[in-house]
Amino acid sequence: MKLARPAIYSAFVLAAVLYALQIFTPLRLTTDGIMYLSLADVAAHQGVRAAWHQPFGFPRGYPIFISVFMKAGVFSSATLVLVNLILFAAGLWFTYRTLRAIGFERGLSLVACLLTVLCFAAVKHVTQGLSDFLLFALAACTCWLLTIDGPAKWLSILCAGCAVEVRLIGVALLVPIAIAMWPTLKKHPALLTAGAIVGMAAAVAGALAGQRYFTMNVIAIQGDGIWRFAEKSVLYHAQDFGELTVNAPLSKLPSSTHVAVLIVGSLVLALFLAGLVDMWRRCKWIGGYLIACCALILPWPFTDPRFWLPALPFIVCAVYLAVKRLWSRMPDSALAVYIALFSLAGFTALAYSTRLTFSGPDFAYRYGDGTLTATYLTHCSAGTDPNERAQHALRLLQSYEWHCGNTQ
C-alpha cells in the first residue's frame, strides 16, 4: 500500500487537536453511562464492597476504575474525556506495534489506526462514561504482549483478566493467549494445567460478569424463536458494518439510503468473514481473537458499531486482505479516495462534537434525544424530577460537572 504518509500524519494531528477540544465538554450522560458512573460513585463513597452488592447488569471493572478518580477528588467531565483519550492513544499505539510485529506494512497499519481514530463510533463515545476505551487499551495491550518473546508475554494473562471484568468480550482474549502459548504449554504439563485452571476461572468470571448478555439472548430467543433471532442478528450486524463502512449512523442518513447501507454492510461483513481465513494464515492467534469476537458479537440481536471498536484495526486489515484477494490489482487511488471520504465523515463528526462541546446554554437542547434536557437545564441546582434515571443523572451532574463551579 503506497499512500501519502504526510497526509496520514496530518490527519492524525488534526484529529488529535479536535479530540483534545472535547475535554471542555459538559458531562455527557447516556442510559448506560448513568449506570456506570452511578456505580462508580457508590464505590467511591461507600466502598467497593457496597458497589459489588449493587444490582448491576454489566461487569464492574470500569466503575471500579473510575471510582479511583472520584475517591481522589479529581473526577469531572474533563477528567473523564482526558482518561478516555489517554486510553485510546495507548490502545492505538499497542495496536500499531502489534500489526507491525505480525507482518503488516507500515502504510496499512497506519491506515487501520487512522480509520479507527476517525470512526464516528469512537468520536461519539470518547466523551461518555462507558467502558469502551478501557477495554480497547487492555485488549490492544494483551495482543501486543503476545508479540514479545520472554516472560513478559505472560503479562497478557493479567491484561486479559482485567478486560474480562470490564466487558464480557474480554473473554475473547483468552483464545489468542491459548493459541500463542500452546507450543510452550504443551512442553510443560504443570504450566498446561495451571493455564487451563486460569482460563476456566477467567471464562467463569466473564460469564458471571456478563449475565445480562446471556439473559437478554435467552429472552430474545424465547420471544422470537431461533430463526427470527438469527435473522435479526444478521440484519443488525449488517447495519453495524454498513455504518462503519460509510462512517455514519443510519439515524443521520436519509431514509432513502438505508437499504443501500444495509446491502453494503452485508457485503463488507462477508468480506470480513472471508478475510478471517487470511488473518488466520498470517497470524493464528489474531485470527483466533477475531473469530472469538465474532462468536460473542454476532449472536447478539442488537446493533451498535461500538461493539466492534476493540478489534476495529484488525477488522480493517482483514477486509483489506479479502479485497486484495478478490481484486489483486486494486489501484491505490481507489483506496485513497475511500480513505479521504471516510476521513471527511470522521472530521465532520468531530466538528459536530466540538460544536456541541462549546454550545454553552444550548447544550441541554442539542445533546441527546431530549429525554435529559430538563435535567441538564437544572443540573446546577436541586431537581424535583421523580424519574429515578433523572435523579441519578442530577446527582452525577451536581457532583462531577465542572461547569457548575461557575454557578454554585
pLDDT in tens, 139-155: 999 999 999 988 888 89
Compute how many other C-beta atoms are within 10 angstroms of the C-beta atom of residue 18. 19
The residues, ordered by sequence, that sit 6+ positions from 384 with a Cβ below 8 Å of its Cβ are none
Q: Is 192 helix (H, G, I), strand (E, B) or coil?
A: helix
Question: What is each CA distance from 112 to 239, 343, 407, in whole angstroms?
Answer: 20, 12, 44
More confident residue, 231 or 202: 231
**Average pLDDT value for residue range 59-69:** 93
Q: Which residue has the cell 445480562?
A: 212
Q: Binning pLDDT at 50, 70 and 90, where does residue 79 land? A: very high
Phi-psi region of 225 (alpha: psi -120 to 50; beta: other; left: phi over 0): left
The yes-or-no verdict on residue 87 having pLDDT over 60 is yes
The yes-or-no verdict on residue 406 having pLDDT over 60 is no
Residue-averaged pLDDT of the chain? 86
The yes-or-no verdict on residue 86 having pLDDT over 80 is yes
The yes-or-no verdict on residue 401 having pLDDT over 70 is yes
Q: Where are the alpha helices (DSSP H) in 247-372?
A: 258-282, 284-297, 312-326, 332-357, 363-366
Radius of gyration of the chain (CA): 22
More confident residue, 46 or 371: 46
Question: Is residue 38 within 8 Å of residue 392, measured between CB atoms?
Answer: yes
> Which of 120, 134, 147 has its CA nearest to residue 304?
120
Is the model's pTM score more than 0.85? yes
Q: Which residue has the cell 444478521?
A: 234
The residues, ordered by sequence, that sit 6+ positions from 196 with a Cβ below 8 Å of its Cβ are none
Q: Backbone phi, then psi, for 187, in 5-degree steps?
A: -85, -15
Q: How far is the first Cα of the chain from the last one, in angstroms, to the nearest whole number? A: 56
User: Rounded to an integer, what distance in angstroms lies between the CA atom of residue 305 and that of residue 318?
Assistant: 17
**Confidence (pLDDT) at 405:** 46
pLDDT, tens digit, for every residue of 341-383? Answer: 999 999 999 999 999 999 988 888 888 777 888 888 876 655 5
